[in-house]
Each structure stands twice: as C-alpha cells, then as structure tokens.
Amino acid sequence: MPLSDPIDDFRLAYDRHGEPGAPPVLLLHGWPGDRTDMTAVAERLGAGHDVVVPDLRGFGGSDRHDRDPAEHYGAAAQARSVAGLLTELGLTGVVIGGYDVGSRVAQQVARDRPDLLRALVVTPPAPGVGRRILGEGPMREFWYQSFHQLDLARELVDGEIGATRSYLRHFWTHWSGPDFTPDDDRLDHLTAAYSSPGAFVASIGWYRAGGGVVARSLAETAPDPADRITVPTTFLWPGHDPLFPRDWSDRVGEFFADVRVDGVDGAGHFVPVEAPQVFADAIAAAAR
C-alpha cells in the first residue's frame, strides 16, 4: 500500500489498479467507509483504465492528526490532498468517481483544479437543497451531523469496538437499499478501521469542519452562471437513499454548467457498493 507525498503533513494511502497509461480514474469513498468501498468498481473497470483509489485524510491507512478540523479536514483541505496525489502521479484528464464525502471532495477538486479533470461521476450530496433540509423528514435523518459536533461522540464511540460496530451497522443498514445487507466481513473490516483510538474522531473531522449537508445547504447560494463548475458531471441518484430524495436534484443546473442526473433504481446511499456495475459503466462512458 503506497503512501502519497505529504500535503499539509497528510499522506494518503492508496491502491492502484489496471493499466498505467490507460484513461485515468480516481475513486473517492464516503463516510462511514474507506477505499475498499470502491473495490468492486475498480475490478469492473479492469485493465482498460488506470484506477487510483485513496483513503481520504483521516480515513483508513491515510494520515490522521489531531488538528483544527476547519483547516485540515474540510472540503478544501481534502481536495488539496487529492489534487496533490494526482499531480504526484502525473495524471491529468482524470474522471473522478465519488459518493457521499467523496462526492463533495470531487466537486471541490472540480472547482479548484478543473485542469486536472475530464469528468465527474458522483452521487448525492448535491448543491441546491436549500432550506428543504429543515423539513421534518430530513431532520430525522441528519441527527448524526449534530451529534458529531459533540465531545460526547468521542466519549461514546471512539476506541470502543462494540459501540463502533453498532454505530456503523446502523448507517450501513438504514441507508442502504432494500436488496442490500452488509455482511459480517464488511462490518468486521470497517469496525477494525474505525475502532482504533482516534480513528472515529478523525473520520468525523469532515463534519466538525462544517462539511455536513445541513450547514452547507443553509449557507449556499447559486453562483453567477459564469462561476458554475465547468467539468462535465453525472449524478447517479439512488432511488432508496433516505438522506437525499430524488426531487432534490431539481436545481443542480444552477451550480454545474454541464450536468445530467441518472436514476439508480433499487440502490440506497452506497451506490458503488450496492450497484458497482452501474457506477463502473458510468465512469467508463465518461472516460471515453
């Protein structure tokens, strides 16, 4: 497992699959996951692509440091590390595929370094939610983002194997589609990744940095048309994600100059894990 050169003293652990010199792809995981969320997608892309799959800052085998989350774990910081990895590997014209946190980081890279990218293939979250986030249904779902701001999250979960497994199992079962259930091996892997002292707190640095959907949705405004993201973007919008109903896709054109929304019926929040062929096919199409 190689490690990237440090950016802001953070190194990213990553896997590389496929064929160097083939069309480049970068796959970004979400919370609560790690780079292994993308294993089935990387396998399906096969020898026809050069596929790089990192752990984001604070996750998996990448560096985690007890530092100000706003400065070191937010979207801009995560995007710096991703752009640094692409530059280190000499990759341009990259298709980034991402879900959850990985989607948000991909969108930030598209804003900051469009010169590195060919396209995005991402799932929600997407901009344009606005004050709909305050509805009774969404507030029942997004409680965890407020919980992650509390020291109580560290006290109850961090370093506690049983609590970590129960907490992760809740999200992987509640957020997934009706035909998907995480198996014991998957939960064992994630529990091991998240239960060492400091690992859980590092993983929620994203939320403590203000990366959660609630705060961002209330603060966002549509940009001037000239300032929209120009990288061609495909949103794969699942049909059974309790966090992001499909009608929340109605305003993405206000934020992206070239965007399409494709439904993924039957899938929940974890599209790369639940529907890896759909995800891989969309990336392969964008890379052509």
Out of 34, 37, 207, 240, which one is annotated catalytic?
A: 207
Residue 181 has what pLDDT?
93
Determine what percent of the chain is predicted with pLDDT higher than 90: 95
Structure tokens at 123: 């799932």
- Using CA atoms, how far residue 211 sits from 35, 41, 101, 203, 286, in Å, is 19, 25, 8, 12, 27
The average pLDDT across 180-187 equals: 95
Residue 1: is its pLDDT beyond 90? no
* Separation between Cα atoms, residue 2 and residue 97, nearest integer Å: 20
Q: Known catalytic residue: 15?
A: no
Out of 34, 100, 158, 241, which one is annotated catalytic?
A: 100
Task: List the domains of the chain with CATH numbers.
Answer: 14-287 (3.40.50.1820)
Residue 278: is its pLDDT beyond 90? yes
Q: How confident is the model at residue 211 (pLDDT cuts 50, 70, 90)?
A: confident
* Separation between Cα atoms, residue 56 and residue 73, nearest integer Å: 9
What confidence tens digit (pLDDT) does each residue in 245-275 have? Answer: 999 999 999 999 999 999 999 999 999 999 9
Q: Known catalytic residue: 29?
A: no
What confidence tens digit (pLDDT) does each residue in 73-88 have? Answer: 999 999 999 999 999 9
Q: How confident is the model at residue 214 (pLDDT cuts 50, 70, 90)?
A: confident
What confidence tens digit (pLDDT) does each residue in 114-156 have? Answer: 999 999 999 999 999 999 999 999 999 999 999 999 999 999 9
DSSP letters of 107-159? HHHHHH-GGGEEEEEE-S--S--GGGGGSHHHHHHTHHHHHTTSHHHHHHHTT
Residue 285: is its pLDDT beyond 90? yes
User: Mean pLDDT lowest for which of 5-9, 18-22, 36-40?
Assistant: 18-22
Q: Known catalytic residue: 207?
A: yes
Torsions phi, psi of 53, nearest 5?
-130, 100
